[in-house]
Amino acid sequence: MPNRSSAARDHAALVNLLRSRAAVATDPRERAERRFEAGRLTGSAKNLQPWHFVVVEDRVTLQKLGALARTGAHVAQAAAAVVVAVDKTPFAVSDASRAIQSMLLAAWADGVGSNWVGFGGLEEVKTLLGIPAKLDLLAILPLGYPARAVGRGKKDRKPIGAVAHRERYGQPFE
């Protein structure tokens, strides 16, 4: 656990970062530093910060990533991608997943679309990018303009009553 006051400052800074949007990004590759800041500020168990980010903008490499990622052919067309690797330590997946969520939200706050591409075909990505065997590959985050206007369509989500409980598991929330 990070100490509480540091975690509090980090979250407050992250919320401010998400709020401080200036219009829509002019280029999906810009503001990479904002996204890393969002990842870097994310809380981390014992403050180990077990994450590693590789920014890819080279078109040939992006095409290779798109070919390797079983659920992410669209990476080939992205303006850029952030590849996320983690230490092989007990809390690395949970910490890095939080950092990824922070980065995705920071991207969307800038008008840049992104999503989590995993978990198939990622071992070969390590070889492609020279990522050491001591790390696990967790995700590819393509960055680009959303291909369609983002609307308010139906979300295929469980109802709140199916996932939330009051005081004890099984007692209805609503």
Task: For the CB of residue 122, give the shortest distance to its own copies in the complex, in Å.
Answer: 13
Q: Contact, 67 vs 113, CB < 8 A?
A: no
Please choose, from the candidates 23, 29, 17, the residue with its C-alpha nearest in 3D space to the C-alpha of residue 143: 29
Encoded amino acid at 129, one letter: L
Which CB, 30 or 36, lies closer to its own copies?
A: 36
Task: For the CB of residue 26, give the shortest distance to its own copies in the complex, in Å.
Answer: 18
Task: For the CB of residue 30, give the shortest distance to its own copies in the complex, in Å.
Answer: 15
Task: For the CB of residue 68, give the shortest distance to its own copies in the complex, in Å.
Answer: 15
Which CB, 63 or 98, lies closer to its own copies?
A: 98
Rounded to whole angstroms, the Cα distance separating 170 from 131 reads 44
Which CB, 31 or 95, lies closer to its own copies?
A: 95
Which CB, 12 or 123, lies closer to its own copies?
A: 12
| Residue 71 vs residues 38, 85, 104, 153: alpha-carbon distances, Å | 25, 18, 17, 22
